[in-house]
Amino acid sequence: MAPPASLVRTARGLWHCQWRQLMGGLGPADAKGRYRRPAGAFTALPPLPPAAAETGAHVLIVGRSCPWAHRAWLVHSLRQLGGAIELLVVEPDPSAGRWRFPTPFEGCETLAELYRISGGKAGSRATVPALWSRRDRRILVNESARLIELLNRWPSPGGLDLEPEAERTAISGWRERLQGDVNDGVYRCGFARNQSAYDEAEAALFAALDALEVHLGQRRHQGASWLCGSDPSLADVVLFPTLIRLEMVYAPLFGCSRRPLWQLPELWRWRARFHGLEGVANTCFPEAWRADYFGSLFPLHPSGIVPAGPDLATLVNSIPPP
């Protein structure tokens, strides 16, 4: 027997009020209901540390599910920085809404404690990625856009430059658009407070994906495989974490489902090429992505049930499905 209509209306109203309160804790929004990512604690781009070449002097702290940490992890891997910068993977603690160290690090159980001893303001979000200096005993930078620039300047045994001078303007232009419309764009869809805020973010997201599709097609006809230049760049690095999560997380959970990626074949092939680069596959953890998003974002998915999703191998096949 269906519940009375009046009870349904009351329950919907109460849940909507509670949902808005919960969303306020999950991510801030402006007066029009558009999600606005809060600023980090250590956002300035620091100079290259004097001890950059010293083995073990720095630690890159990342989480498997975080796309912002993923981009830093990718630069760390592509530039073969493992011998210079230790990689430390923190684990989510959904019940407390924080990151925990698998074993105590610098006397800290949680990332929030490490932020406090680094001078982070009380109440500031303790997020990944973060670059820790053992010599200075503090976090040098946690803003991923600045951190990948710093890691690209780090002494590298392979010498790969992800932001060469000749392509710097083009790389910067793509990075700026991707940051707003794609990387943040999926969150603006998922964390929108109303229909108009969602519609605006969703339209910008797919307009950017369409532009990427056209651009990559033009590049392919010119004999080039990447967004800028003849080699992967920071522009490619920031695009990959979002696209590799699209079907697994952002389409079903954030409503980024207007068009599956296989209908954008240039982007599909680009994703497969990037995933095939040495070391990239080792930064991908689809089970963690789905468990952390569906299991942790209670206001968006109250049941906590982690639904089945596509196998990663099917998404990185170089041939789009028919």
Catalytic residues: 66, 187
**Which residues, at least 6 apart from 265, have a Cβ–Cβ distance to it below 8 Å?**
213, 320
Find the helix or strand (DSSP H, E) in which 5 lies: helix 5-26
Residues 86, 165 contacting (CB under 8 angstroms): no
Counting beta carbons within 10 angstroms of the beta carbon of residue 180, is it exposed (0 to 12), middle (13 to 18) or buried (19 or more)? Answer: middle
Residue 13: Cβ within 10 Å count: 10
Going from the C-alpha of 292 to that of each of 38, 69, 253, 282, 313, the distances in angstroms are 20, 14, 12, 18, 20
The two tokens of residue 37 are 């990512």
The Cβ of residue 82 has, within 10 Å, a number of other Cβ atoms equal to: 13
For residue 91, what are the β-bridge partners?
100
